Amino acid sequence: MPSESATAGTSFSPPRTHLHDLPDAILSIIFSLVTDTRSRNSMSLVCRKWAVADRSSRTTLTLRGNVGNLDRLPSCFRSVTNLDLSFCSPWGHPLFLPDPLSEGAHFVARFLAQHFPNITSLTFYSRHPATVQILAYYFPSLRSVKLVRFHQRITVPAGADLIPLFAHCPSLSSLDLSHFYCWTEDIPAALHDHPASALALTHLNLLILSTDGFQSQELQAIAVACPNLLHLLASCRFDPRFVDFVGDAALLSIATNCNKLRHLHLADASSLSSPRSDPDADGFSHEDARISAQALEEMFIALPDLEDLTLDVCHNVRGAGVALEVLGSKCRRLRSLKLGQFHGICRGDAPRSDGIALCRALESLCIKNSGDLTDLGLIAIARGCPRLSKLEIHGCHGISSYGVMSMVCCLRKTLVDVGISCCKQLNAASSLQALEPIRDRVEHLHIDCVWGAPDSEDAAEKKDTRDFDLNYSSEANEDHGFANGGTEYRNHGPRRSEADGPMKKKWKCSSGCESSNKAGSEFWSKTWPRLRSLSLWIAVGELLMPLAAAGLAYCPALQEMKIKVEGDCRLCAKLTMPAFGLNSLVRFPRLSKMNLDCGEVTGYALSAPVGQMDISLWERSYLNGIGELALNQLDYWPPQDREMNSRSLTLPAVGLISECVTLRKLFIHGTANEHFLKMLLRIPKLRDMQLREDYYPAPENDMSTEMRVDSCLRFENELNRRSLLD
């Protein structure tokens, strides 16, 4: 027996509480808060209890692979309510092979319905109306549906793709056709045949890229058929040169019949397909839209619940300031506003606020191609909309770095998402210089890679120290004075004169004397500590390497980058440099996701004249160095030859992409030959690779080995047979 002293010295620690002691209900709530798919998968591998908690709490699932491998279909996700089948391969072909109306197709649909009995939201690729008919029959409880199709529409009666959906799903309230290649006349025809289903719709997304937009009569028919809409997004035909263009009648019909709308997006089809504007234009289009200020006022008065409004007309809407004042006074819930080709939106030189400046609750604002917007107007908007967290300025040639810097000074506490593009007075360096006051807060940024030397020190000092008029309240006064890295924005005392009118304040940007000793500080190193997403536009033939010198050298938190290259490379005889400069992005250590869009680069596919370069050499230049980046996901749009309707991967492109040894997901928005695809199997961690013919018009009958069903199946089988470490 132990001695008394030994017994007295023994201490018993209380049992420790483990995560397993949590009730299953609380553990499921914790799992439901984790949104990252890979994190959820890793958590489910810890133990059996965690795996059960993951399966019981997962509500969203995306299936990839071949529908022929039904033995691999998971049967443990019984709680899934949102199912995405649009990635099932062979991608871009009927989901039910070989015959959509065969008994085998019904067997596959029944099998899916048994494994996922609680589905209420479904996304799937529908190349044939029979696919919609079968899935709608076996999932009658659907409340939300998104259809995907990039292939050309087959010859069927108007509305044949949607009528089965309305016939079998009486609870359908949300329909998304933004990625569905169809005709505009299909929607009114289907809604007319099923009025009860039309009444039940509350969300309708018709931002269809494959057409010229909805005409006035079609929009009015949709508005009459769906009076309970809360969300309406549609591509329109605002061009007055066309018959039945969208004008005052269509806008007033939408406002009268759908007066419950909270989100309204009406955008010209040309703005969706080609958002760039001519940098040498004055901001005014050749034609005026047939939209009057009076009609806009009546529309805003009839829609008091608006929270999100987009009117991207692409044709001049003049004198819109008064109508926007009505918008600010009648639509008090408005949080997001996007205007395209609106003029007179804010003067800025009036003794009181006007136009957009009266929409004081705005949190997101996008202004496109406003020809008469000046720096003073931009400052007035900043003064009147102090809650702005997102700001996009596109094609406003009257805006300079002075106006942008003044605006961001006023919005320093809220602004985190900024986009500046196609403004004649703002190149990459001047845009980044203007954003200096919020450099430590920006999380999302878009700029144009228009290289130019930044202003000289003398010119910059002169520009920063000049006066500008700013009327503001005493509550916002203290927000405007702040110091950042040795640079101080001071509020100088009032100065009045007879010409000044009301009291005006003078702002000055001056460097503190102590900043000379902080050459290595964050300010001088141009660090963007919170920047997570960066979007760039660059003209064909330009290089990416000057990006660091322009002011984006240090972005420690950058995770995602989107690069869009645009132009006609046939006008460039030779490349000045063999590499575009992707290897210069190794300075961003956390960069893992990239969208490289060269889809608007036009060149010669196989018929380059003497002295000209074909697309393969341009692809070699743009992708050179991509293997040095530690990318996890890559979306790539190859250049195209529009005359041959060709957008296909070339041999140099496939070879360079195969050097990205860290890739897990690869999406090619184009086609590729089968023997080129074999090279992609050299990527050791690749587990999800797809070819997407999402360009218009997509080829209907492929006469080569590009995108054939058998070619895709053979590649996917080899990809799935590989053993992956995780």
pLDDT per residue over 111-139, tens digit each? 899 999 999 999 998 888 888 999 999 99
265 and 234 Cβ atoms separated by less than 8 Å: yes
430 plus 556 within the same structural domain: no
Residue 7 forms part of a structural domain = no
The tokens for 270 are: 């040309």
Number of alpha carbons in the 13 Å side-chain half-sphere of residue 162: 30
Q: How far apart are CA 254 and CA 303, in angstroms?
A: 9
Q: How far is CA 33 from CA 26, 52, 54, in A?
A: 11, 16, 11
Q: How far is CA 98 from CA 90, 102, 104, 153, in A?
A: 11, 8, 9, 19
Q: How far apart are CA 546 and CA 561, in angstroms?
A: 16
Residue 189: the pLDDT is 92
Mean pLDDT of 707-719: 78
540 plus 523 within the same structural domain: no
Tens digit of each residue's pLDDT (9 = 90 or more) over 196-239: 999 999 999 999 877 789 999 999 999 999 999 999 999 999 99
Q: How far apart are CA 655 and CA 658, in angstroms?
A: 5
Residue 389 forms part of a structural domain = no
Mean pLDDT of 350-378: 90
Residue 193 forms part of a structural domain = no
587 plus 547 within the same structural domain: yes
pLDDT averaged over the chain? Answer: 82
Q: How far is CA 107 from CA 102, 188, 523, 527, in A?
A: 9, 33, 64, 58
Residue 563: the pLDDT is 96
Q: How far apart are CA 289 and CA 67, in angstroms?
A: 49
Q: In a 3-state reduction of DSSP, which class is residue 39?
A: helix
Residue 677: the pLDDT is 87
Residue 1 forms part of a structural domain = no
Nearest in space to 342 (alpha carbons), one of 259, 238, 264 = 238
Q: How far apart are CA 120 and CA 81, in angstroms?
A: 5
Residue 234: the pLDDT is 95
340 plus 211 within the same structural domain: yes
128 and 104 Cβ atoms separated by less than 8 Å: no
Residue 696 forms part of a structural domain = yes
Ordered DSSP codes for 244-291: T---HHHHHHHHHH-TT-SEEEEEEHHHHH-----TTS-S--SSB-S-
Comparing 311 with 670, the larger pLDDT belongs to 311
Number of alpha carbons in the 13 Å side-chain half-sphere of residue 508: 12
Domain with 31 in it: what CATH number?
1.20.1280.50
The tokens for 602 are: 């036009």
Comparing 457 with 538, the larger pLDDT belongs to 538
Q: Residue 709: is its pLDDT beyond 50?
A: yes
Q: How far apart are CA 420 and CA 538, in angstroms?
A: 13
Residue 72 forms part of a structural domain = yes
* Residue percentage of the chain with pLDDT more than 90: 50
Tell me how crowded residue 302 is: count the other CB atoms within 10 A of its CB: 18
- The structure tokens 């593009």 sit at 421
Overall number of domains in the chain: 5
673 plus 607 within the same structural domain: yes
Residue 182 forms part of a structural domain = no
459 plus 602 within the same structural domain: no
Domain stops at, among 511, 530, 549:
530
Nearest in space to 649 (alpha carbons), one of 616, 679, 613 = 616
The tokens for 345 are: 């939106």
Nearest in space to 58 (alpha carbons), one of 89, 91, 82 = 82
- The structure tokens 């700013």 sit at 470
Residue 190 forms part of a structural domain = no
Q: Which of 155-169, 488-502, 608-622 has the lowest mean pLDDT?
A: 488-502
89 plus 122 within the same structural domain: yes
36 plus 148 within the same structural domain: no
345 plus 404 within the same structural domain: no
Tens digit of each residue's pLDDT (9 = 90 or more) over 52-106: 888 888 889 988 877 777 777 888 888 899 999 988 877 667 777 666 667 778 8
Residue 696: the pLDDT is 56
Residue 697: the pLDDT is 52
Tens digit of each residue's pLDDT (9 = 90 or more) over 425-436: 999 999 999 999
Structure confidence at residue 353 as a pLDDT band (50, 70, 90): confident
248 and 219 Cβ atoms separated by less than 8 Å: no
Domain stops at, among 348, 382, 416:
382
Q: How far apart are CA 522 and CA 527, in angstroms?
A: 6
43 and 51 Cβ atoms separated by less than 8 Å: no
Beta strand spans in 26-138 (E): 60-62, 65-66, 82-84, 88-89, 121-125
Q: Residue 472: is its pLDDT beyond 80?
A: no
536 plus 669 within the same structural domain: yes
Q: How far apart are CA 528 and CA 554, in angstroms?
A: 6
Q: In a 3-state reduction of DSSP, which class is residue 667?
A: strand
* Residue percentage of the chain with pLDDT more than 70: 82
What domain range is 313 assigned to?
A: 202-382
Residue 576: the pLDDT is 64
Structure confidence at residue 258 as a pLDDT band (50, 70, 90): very high
Domain stops at, among 58, 76, 106:
58
Residue 460: the pLDDT is 40
The tokens for 128 are: 């044939």
Residue 570: the pLDDT is 86
207 plus 121 within the same structural domain: no
Q: How far apart are CA 5 and CA 356, in angstroms?
A: 83
The tokens for 538 are: 């660059």
Q: How far apart are CA 650 and CA 673, in angstroms?
A: 9
Q: Residue 461: is its pLDDT beyond 60?
A: no
Q: Residue 513: is its pLDDT beyond 90?
A: no
Tens digit of each residue's pLDDT (9 = 90 or more) over 685-706: 898 888 877 765 555 555 455 5
Residue 212: the pLDDT is 83
Domain with 717 in it: what CATH number?
3.80.10
Tell me, what amino acid is at 688?
D
Tell me how crowded residue 668 is: count the other CB atoms within 10 A of its CB: 24
Residue 508: the pLDDT is 37
**Widest pairwise Cα distance in the chain:** 105
259 plus 372 within the same structural domain: yes
